[in-house]
Amino acid sequence: MKKYTILISGVAALGGLLFGFDTAVIAGAISGLKDYFALNNGDIGLVVAAASIGCIPGAFFSGRLADKYGRKKMMLLTAVLYVITSIGSGIAGSFAQLVIYRFVGGVAIGMASTLAPIYISEVAPASFRGRLGMMQQLAIVLGILIAFISNYALANTGFAFITAHNQWRFMLAAALIPSLIFFFLLALVPESPRWLILNDKLVQAKKVFTRIYEDEAAEKEVNIVKADIQKSSTKFRFRDIFSKKYKRVVLIGIVFAAIAQLTGINIIFYYAPLIFEKTHVGGSVLFQTVLTGIVNLIFTLIAFALIDRVGRKKLLLWGSTIMGFCMFIIGFLFYENRLGNYFVLITVFVYIAAFASTWGAVLWVYVAEIFPNRIRGHATSFAIFGNWSANAIVSYTFPIMLAGIGAPATFFSYGIINLAMILFVSKYIFETKGVPLERIEERYQNVS
């Protein structure tokens, strides 16, 4: 694999870094926002969920727009929206303004979560697609960790102009720097060669493939993709993804993407300070949150060595099993009020490690690789729309569940969901390890 392929995949994945930063940065700002705007539990849920709600239209429409205007142009628009939300969230003068800017940021996140996996899957050689696709997840994890470190640093800075009253503004505005970097680095990225072939731009597509493969392999790749696209000469419409030919794989994709949120991973990252406030060990709450980000990063790196060797399906099965038991243990510790020890922290870290090396590693790779070339943009967009819809529900309801039915019942519920996911994976998830994109259709047609 050429270094150029790694470079352009890495730049595309930077949208994921901002995705991770913007979704996680709110964790450190919640306490300051609660005091500044006098928020109740429902308000907290709304300001956290606003980004997730914005992700829904961002994910839903970005695939179709990317199919029409190209992957690169839509990634540039994503970078612009990140800049807007960074500045706007930092200067918001009212709770309503903050929610609006968080929504705009969510649109950008929804777009990035759709576009980067599509782009990377379309430039990656089959034997490296899992690892290159994981660059999106690695970038998300780095973004989350950077957000946690940034929050911790801003909360403990000695600068007189950063106070307990306004530090949340600096936390939310900090994404401006990586947003600008993402925008300017996109100049290095070519358009997706598969999108170019879809739009009859064969000369440009061959130039891009030549920089990814050797000359003969590039010519062969162009012909393979061209032949795959020419299987159907009719004009494609969005409703065609629900045709008899594609319906099964689209349903598998959207359910898979949605239940990835029902693992409960984002209740850990969005609300880590609220959870750790109920425990009584391990130093400051923000420092404990930084540790969760470090664990997430370490086990995401471990997943690099596993995803193209072990395969997607086995990782998902192991992850659901471990995460399910961790949720039950956390619920039991809250039920017994045994929070004055390190076991609850260790269990949270094990849960995060299991997610990072399994579901977190597989999610963004799988949803972009299982769909045929002809429907990839539309279908990936629709699947990730399901992911963010579930995310919005989880992030909004968690503080309400925590206050209403209590921590034990809340975590027990997520434990049951995780174990139930084993059945779905066993029956419907098909292995894609090492399979060229143009041959994956053969795999899903054999799923019972």
For the stretch 144-199, pLDDT in tens is 888 888 888 888 776 777 777 888 899 999 989 999 999 999 988 999 988 898 88
Q: What residues have CB less than 8 Å from 95, skipping those under 6 apart?
A: 37, 39, 43, 47
Q: What is the pLDDT, as a whole number, of residue 370? A: 87
- Phi-psi label, residue 406: left if phi above 0, alpha if psi -120 to 50, beta otherwise: left
Q: Exposure of 142 by Cβ count < 10 A (0-12 exposed, 13-18 middle, 19+ buried)?
A: buried
| H-type alpha helices, 124-201 | 129-155, 167-173, 176-185, 193-198
Q: What is the pLDDT, as a whole number, of residue 284? A: 62
Assigned token pair, 271: 């609300």
Choose among 293, 290, 315, 318: nearest CA to 305.
315
Distance CA 265, CA 213 (A): 37
Amino acid (1-letter code) at residue 207:
K
Q: What is the pLDDT, as a whole number, of residue 43? A: 85
Instruction: Say if residues 307 and 362 touch (Cβ distance below 8 Å).
Output: yes
Q: What is the pLDDT, as a whole number, of residue 124? A: 82
Distance CA 105, CA 19 (A): 9
Assigned token pair, 94: 């009212």
Q: 3-189+231-444 is classed in which CATH architecture?
A: Up-down Bundle (1.20)
Q: What is the pLDDT, as a whole number, of residue 286? A: 64
Containing 231, the helix (H) or strand (E) segment is: none
Q: What is the pLDDT, as a whole number, of residue 380? A: 84
Beta carbons within 10 angstroms of residue 101's beta carbon: 23
Residue spans of beta strands (DSSP E) within 117-182: none
This prediction has a pTM of 0.75
Assigned token pair, 401: 């569940």
Give residue limits of the domains in the chain: 3-189+231-444
Q: What is the pLDDT, as a whole number, of residue 317? A: 95
Choose among 253, 260, 259, 261: nearest CA to 375.
253
SS3 content of the chain, % helix, strand, coil (to 5): 80, 0, 20
* Mean pLDDT of each 10-residue bin along the chain, 448 residues long: 83 88 81 84 82 85 87 94 93 91 92 87 79 82 86 79 83 91 91 88 88 78 78 66 82 90 78 62 64 85 84 92 92 81 82 92 85 80 85 79 86 92 91 76 63
Q: What is the pLDDT, as a whole number, of residue 328? A: 93
Total residues belonging to the chain: 448
Distance CA 156, CA 150 (A): 10
